[in-house]
Amino acid sequence: MMVLGLETSCDETGIAIYDSERGLLGDALYSQVDMHAVYGGVIPELASRDHIRKTLPMIRQLLADKNIAATSIDGIAYTAGPGLIGALLVGAALGRSLAMAWNVPAVGVHHMEGHLLAPMLEANPPEFPFVALLVSGGHTQLVAVKGIGEYTLLGESLDDAAGEAFDKVAKMLGLNYPGGPRVAALATQGTPGRFVFPRPMTNRPGLDFSFSGLKTFVRNTLADLEGAPEGISEQDKADVALAFEEAVVQTLVIKCRRALQDSGLRRLIIAGGVSANTRLRAGLEAMVQAQRSQLFYAQPRFCTDNGAMIAYAGCQRLLAGQREGLAINARPRWPMDTLPSLKSLSGV
Ligand code: KG4
Ligand code: ZN
């Protein structure tokens, strides 16, 4: 089955074609980062308008580049939520309409399920069951995954998501959006051990997270440095960036270790934009080795938003018989544990 996937939930237009027999046949990504950077963050209305401009021409281009006829597409998958409602509606309206015009089935995909399944696109995909750490701009969740659509939430952030904390700290450091990669780059110049920030909620049981206190800690540290007679230096900022990144990474490592131990599972996957972070990957790699477990993640371009993960997730659901009605639906909020399991769809 050959599936066209569309991702338009935020500030990236992602298009991909995934084939159940041959794998990923092609993908294209257009990032709106430069457009939003002027404002220091995503402006939803501008995002929607840009998706309208880009999505259809990108589909045409990808089909032409890969020499794939529209008539050979067997199904369409689009991100139906969670995300910015206007941006989601562009992909949902276009995906649903194309499916009707081409007389093929359509399926609305959950954006975080797309992220969660992105490591499946790699050469050595994980087998079920596993623990998933989802770390993006809007979500920080630990999930026990028995199969597609069989998700048990183990813990989540009570306030800011990990990516959101990176983005806010970036702003405090005078770095532009998206902040995660910029904070990570600045941290490579940092002096190890100069500052040690708290690892929130690690000294009590449970698998929930909280990153807003850490953010305040950064703000106070920066205020102290700025108030010093000699002012704040570039080295000071790099040292703060490193201490912040280490605190986030260590917190995530401690909670992932606990999730593996509590669940008795031996595989950990990480997904979402923050899973592209090299310090996080290294920290988790060391932890899983000590736990005699395995770590899986997608290549960096499939950690952040992309069409390939939506085409893959949609393909699995279409193969199991899931079908969207004719209505065009998008859900800005959508708990992942309400998704039907593949097992229940195929009646196994
Ligand atoms: O998954 P994603 O592309 O979009 C959402 O679904 O939110 O994640 C974007 C988030 C942003 O907060 C961005 O700053 C963060 O992922 N991010 C990173 C890195 N690359 C992206 N955070 C830390 N280190 C990175 N290398
Ligand atoms: Zn995302």
The pLDDT of residue 177: 86
pLDDT in tens, 2-27: 999 999 999 999 999 999 999 999 99
Q: Which of 2-6, 78-82, 175-179, 211-215 is least confident?
A: 175-179
Sheet holding 140-147, edge to edge: 150-156, 140-147, 130-135, 267-271, 294-297
**Nearest alpha-carbon partner for 111 in 84, 142, 90:** 84
Nearby residues of 287 by Cβ (< 8 Å), 6 or more positions away = 253, 256, 257
Nearby residues of 333 by Cβ (< 8 Å), 6 or more positions away = 81, 82
The CA distance from 117 to 309, in Å, is: 7
Residue range(s) in the chain whose domain bears CATH number 3.30.420.40: 2-118+302-345, 128-297
Nearby residues of 238 by Cβ (< 8 Å), 6 or more positions away = 186, 187, 189, 190, 191
How many angstroms separate the alpha carbon of residue 274 from the centre of ligand 1? Answer: 4
- Which CATH number describes the domain made up of 2-118+302-345? 3.30.420.40
The CA distance from 160 to 41, in Å, is: 16
Asked if residue 249 has pLDDT above 70, the reply is yes
Query: CA 253: distance to chain centroid?
Result: 18
Looking at the chain, the whole-number percentage of residues with pLDDT higher than 90 is 98
Asked if residue 346 has pLDDT above 90, the reply is no
The pLDDT of residue 232: 97
How many angstroms separate the alpha carbon of residue 161 from the centre of ligand 1? Answer: 10
> Ligand 1 site: residues with CB under 6 angstroms?
10, 115, 136-138, 163-164, 166-167, 178-181, 184, 272-274, 276-277, 304-305
Ligand 1 atom 3 nearest Cα: 304
Ligand 1 atom nearest to 170, measured from its CA:
14
How many angstroms separate the alpha carbon of residue 97 from the centre of ligand 1? Answer: 30
How many angstroms separate the alpha carbon of residue 282 from the centre of ligand 1? Answer: 17
Q: What is the mean pLDDT of residues 250-257?
A: 98
Q: From 135, 136, 249, give the residue whose CB has the most ligand 1 atoms within 8 Å, as the site to mutate.
A: 136
Q: What is the mean pLDDT of residues 219-248?
A: 97
State which CATH number among 3.30.420.40, 3.40.1380.10, 3.40.50.920, 3.40.50.150 fits the domain covering 128-297. Answer: 3.30.420.40
The CA distance from 267 to 279, in Å, is: 19
Taking phi over 0 as left and psi of -120 to 50 as alpha, with beta for the rest, 7 belongs to: beta
How many angstroms separate the alpha carbon of residue 164 from the centre of ligand 1? Answer: 8
Residue 293 tokens, joined: 């477990």
Are the C-beta atoms of residues 6 and 107 closer than 8 Å to each other? Answer: no
What pTM was estimated for this model as a whole? 0.97
The pLDDT of residue 178: 87
Asked if residue 242 has pLDDT above 80, the reply is yes
The pLDDT of residue 345: 93
DSSP state at residue 341: P
The CA distance from 91 to 6, in Å, is: 6
The CA distance from 81 to 95, in Å, is: 13
Asked if residue 348 has pLDDT above 70, the reply is no
Ligand 1 atom nearest to 111, measured from its CA:
6
Q: What is the mean pLDDT of residues 60-88?
A: 98
Judged by DSSP in three states, 73 sits in coil
Residue 153 tokens, joined: 């939430």
Ligand nearest to the CA of 162: 1
Q: What is the mean pLDDT of residues 273-293?
A: 98
How many angstroms separate the alpha carbon of residue 82 from the centre of ligand 2? Answer: 9
Q: Which of 128-137, 256-265, 295-304, 339-348 is least confident?
A: 339-348
Q: From 274, 277, 281, 306, give the residue whose CB has the most ligand 1 atoms within 8 Å, as the site to mutate.
A: 274
Looking at the chain, the whole-number percentage of residues with pLDDT higher than 70 is 100
**Nearest alpha-carbon partner for 128 in 316, 319, 258:** 316
Ligand 1 atom nearest to 162, measured from its CA:
12
The pLDDT of residue 279: 98
Mean pLDDT of the chain: 97
pLDDT in tens, 147-203: 999 999 999 999 999 999 999 999 999 999 889 999 999 999 999 999 999 999 999
Residue 166 tokens, joined: 């990176």
Ligand 1 atom nearest to 177, measured from its CA:
14
How many angstroms separate the alpha carbon of residue 343 from the centre of ligand 1? Answer: 31
pLDDT band at 76 (very low <50, low <70, confident <90, very high): very high
Asked if residue 343 has pLDDT above 70, the reply is yes
Residue 261 tokens, joined: 């131990």
